[in-house]
């Protein structure tokens, strides 16, 4: 057999110097190229957001989005005037208080969400068996528990209705079970 039988199976790297340069260009050079590209991209002279007046830009980013004011229409209008806020486009903040809701209207607005389906143990509308023990408490006691809230029901059933409106809603509910 010939000593040159394996010459056709050898690779392109013949010397240790060639192996060193191949390793360098395969692994080390790409890392330096990537570092150079990152440096090039991040070193550009780009103006930062709000660079003209950084204090103003910071103040605009952290300003309040809104405020919550509780009270009647006069209190809300006074608070809006003090803060420099413009009144609502529909004039709702400066409008006079609306007419009192009837018992049925308040029930349909606030109470029906729970009392129609019996959510969280609420007695269903018109269910004489569920309302029976409650009817015995009387109108004043039921109205007081609605105003204060009871079990899962929030105060005033989660509405902003007046005490008189709450009483008319309780009367409407009780009329359905009598």
* Domain map (residue ranges) of the chain: 12-63, 64-97, 103-177
Kindly report the length of the chain. 178
- Determine the pLDDT at residue 17: 92
pLDDT at 36 over 90: yes
Distance CA 15, CA 166 (A): 97
Mean pLDDT computed over every residue of the chain: 77
The closest alpha carbon to 73, from 99, 87, 93, belongs to: 93
Give the residue with greater pLDDT, 156 vs 22: 22
Q: What is the pLDDT of residue 94?
A: 44
Residue 50 has a pLDDT of 54
| Integer Cα distance of 157 and 110 in angstroms | 6
Cα atoms in the Cβ-side hemisphere of radius 13 Å centred on 167: 8
Q: Given this model, what pLDDT does residue 92 score?
A: 47
- DSSP assignments along 106-144, one per residue: HIIIIIHHHHTTTGGGPPPTT-HHHHHHHHTT-HHHHHH
Assigned architecture for domain 103-177: Orthogonal Bundle (1.10)
- Position 171 scores a pLDDT of 86
The pLDDT tens digits for 49-106 are 556 777 777 888 888 777 676 777 777 777 777 666 555 544 444 444 566 777 788 8
> pLDDT band at 35, cuts 50/70/90?
very high
Q: How far apart are the C-alpha atoms of 20 and 174, rounded to whole Å?
A: 95
- Report pTM: 0.44
The residue among 67 and 27 whose pLDDT is bigger is 27
Greatest mean pLDDT among 35-39, 78-82, 106-110, 114-118 lies in 35-39
């Amino acid at each position: 057999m010939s000593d040159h039988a394996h010459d056709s199976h050898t690779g392109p790297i013949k010397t240790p110097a060639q192996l060193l340069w191949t390793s360098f260009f395969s692994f080390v050079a790409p890392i330096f190229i990537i570092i150079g590209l990152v440096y090039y991209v991040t070193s550009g002279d780009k103006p930062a957001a709000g660079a003209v007046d950084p204090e103003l830009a910071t103040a605009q980013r952290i300003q309040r989005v809104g405020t919550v004011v509780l009270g009647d229409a006069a209190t809300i209008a006074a608070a809006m005037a003090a803060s420099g806020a413009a009144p609502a486009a529909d004039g709702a903040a400066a409008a006079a208080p609306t007419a009192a809701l009837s018992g049925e209207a308040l029930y349909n607005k606030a109470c029906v969400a729970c009392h129609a389906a019996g959510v969280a143990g609420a007695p269903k509308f018109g269910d004489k068996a569920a309302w029976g023990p409650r009817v015995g408490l009387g109108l004043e006691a039921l109205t007081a528990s609605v105003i204060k809230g009871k079990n899962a029901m929030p105060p005033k059933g989660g509405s902003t209705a007046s005490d008189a409106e709450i009483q008319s809603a309780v009367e409407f509910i009780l009329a359905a079970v009598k």
